[in-house]
């Protein structure tokens, strides 16, 4: 099979021929159709996430069709079923986090496209317990961003509780999905982009943002909550200053540059600062059931599998509006 391989952090991915993997017990062999390109992939490739399996096939927003099963598979994801494979690929099921419904925090967790080979390839194997059926109304390209941008955005939004005025810092793949969920819930969304990103601000307005501007600007109203998708630590005190007393700032990324010091008064007033770590299977089940009800529409820019390096660079330089997706077949 064709695969794009990371041999060492900081290097370009290499197109390589590999044997089709054989599914182990409880695993599905999946023929990959599309795989979303995520900022987490950039953090892996650029060496900001420091413990990848090497060599590695990146990618964790995988849409494909089950073509074979390992022994012991008992679920409903039979051969011919279209499935999605997300970031979370394995948990121990017996630690205190797993037993309390917080499997996203499992210390033994393994992640697709990081410790487990991912979807920048023609085939992938995945544990059946961490695969989801894809809603029938979504084409392969449009379904891929739901599996990380959508799931992390959904989990982040849930952490804002009943906030009515929500700021989104960084208007990329996740934000363009979560704004649709927020508006469906009757919330008002304020979008923040990098300075000079007029197209991104206009994109946010077309999706229903009541205001869009630079992250260096103050919104016209106090926010009840803010979600930071951009991996920029300096946005933390900025967001706290723009959130009303009792509000919440959620850091939604897996990696962020260092947060600068800030005076306690910025946090005072019972403001809450918290992070999002990974996802749970319950998140996936809830969000993928909700997506077609809204319905969520994803805007994608497609690249062939062999252009994975170009897709990553376009994402790195802020040239993607919506989400980037690799088309494998």
Taking residues 218-227, report their average pLDDT: 98
pLDDT at 85: 98
CATH assignment of 2-148+279-327, given 3.40.1130.10, 3.90.180.10, 2.40.50.100, 2.60.120.10?
3.90.180.10
Mean pLDDT for all residues in the chain: 97
Taking residues 27-48, report their average pLDDT: 97
CATH architecture of the domain formed by 151-275 = 3-Layer(aba) Sandwich (3.40)
Report the C-alpha gap between 37 and 145 in whole angstroms: 8
pLDDT at 75: 86
Q: Which among 68, 87, 86, 80 is positioned nearest to 26, based on CA atoms?
A: 68
Q: Which among 171, 281, 190 is positioned nearest to 242, based on CA atoms?
A: 190
DSSP-derived secondary structure letter, 23: P
pLDDT at 217: 96
CA distances from 122 to 73, 202, 313 (A): 22, 36, 21
Confirm if 44 and 103 have CB atoms less than 8 A apart: no
Rg (the chain; Cα; Å): 19
Upstream peptide bond of 295 is cis (omega within 30 degrees of 0): yes
H helices of the chain, in order, are 39-45, 96-99, 140-143, 149-158, 173-184, 198-206, 235-242, 264-267, 281-290, 308-316
> Among residues of the chain, what percentage have pLDDT more than 70?
100
Report the C-alpha gap between 88 and 214 in whole angstroms: 33
pLDDT at 112: 98
Report the C-alpha gap between 282 and 259 in whole angstroms: 31
Residue ranges of the domains in the chain? 2-148+279-327, 151-275
Give the count of beta carbons closer than 10 Å to the beta carbon of residue 226.
Answer: 28
Tell me if domain 2-148+279-327 and domain 151-275 are identical in fold: no
> Among residues of the chain, what percentage have pLDDT more than 90?
98
Report the C-alpha gap between 268 and 242 in whole angstroms: 13
Q: Which two structure tokens, joined as six digits, stand for 324? A: 């980037």
Phi, psi dihedrals of residue 180, rounded to the nearest 5°: -70, -40
Confirm if 216 and 242 have CB atoms less than 8 A apart: no
Query: pTM of the full predicted structure?
Result: 0.95
pLDDT at 36: 98
């Amino acid at each position: 099979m064709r695969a794009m391989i990371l041999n060492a952090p900081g290097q370009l991915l290499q197109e390589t021929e590999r044997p089709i993997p054989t599914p182990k017990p409880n695993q599905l062999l999946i023929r990959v159709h599309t795989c979303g390109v995520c900022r987490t992939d950039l953090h892996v490739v650029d060496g900001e996430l420091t413990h990848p399996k090497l060599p590695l096939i990146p990618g964790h927003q995988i849409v494909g069709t089950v073509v074979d099963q390992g022994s012991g598979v008992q679920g409903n994801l039979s051969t011919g079923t279209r499935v999605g494979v997300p970031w979370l690929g394995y948990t121990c099921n017996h630690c205190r986090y797993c037993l309390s419904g917080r499997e996203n925090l499992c210390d033994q967790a393994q992640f697709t496209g990081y410790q487990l080979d991912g979807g920048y390839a023609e085939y992938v194997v995945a544990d059946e317990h961490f695969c989801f059926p894809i809603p029938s109304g979504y084409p392969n390209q449009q379904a891929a961003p739901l599996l990380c941008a959508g799931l992390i955005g959904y989990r982040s939004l849930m952490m804002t509780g009943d906030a009515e005025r929500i700021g989104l810092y960084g208007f990329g793949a996740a934000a363009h999905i979560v704004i649709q969920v927020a508006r469906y819930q009757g919330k008002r969304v304020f979008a923040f982009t990098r300075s000079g990103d007029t197209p991104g601000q206009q994109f946010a307005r077309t999706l229903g943002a009541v205001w869009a501007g630079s992250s260096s600007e103050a919104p016209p109203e106090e926010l009840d909550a803010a979600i930071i998708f951009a991996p920029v630590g300096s946005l933390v005190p900025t967001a706290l200053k723009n959130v009303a007393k009792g509000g919440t700032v959620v850091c939604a990324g897996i990696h962020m540059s260092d947060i600068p010091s800030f005076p306690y008064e910025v946090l005072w007033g019972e403001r809450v600062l918290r992070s999002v770590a990974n996802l749970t299977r319950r998140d996936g089940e809830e969000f993928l059931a909700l997506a077609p009800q809204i319905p969520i529409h994803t805007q994608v820019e497609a690249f062939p599998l062999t252009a994975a390096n170009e897709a990553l660079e376009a994402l790195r330089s802020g040239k993607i509006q919506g989400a980037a997706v690799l088309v494998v077949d």
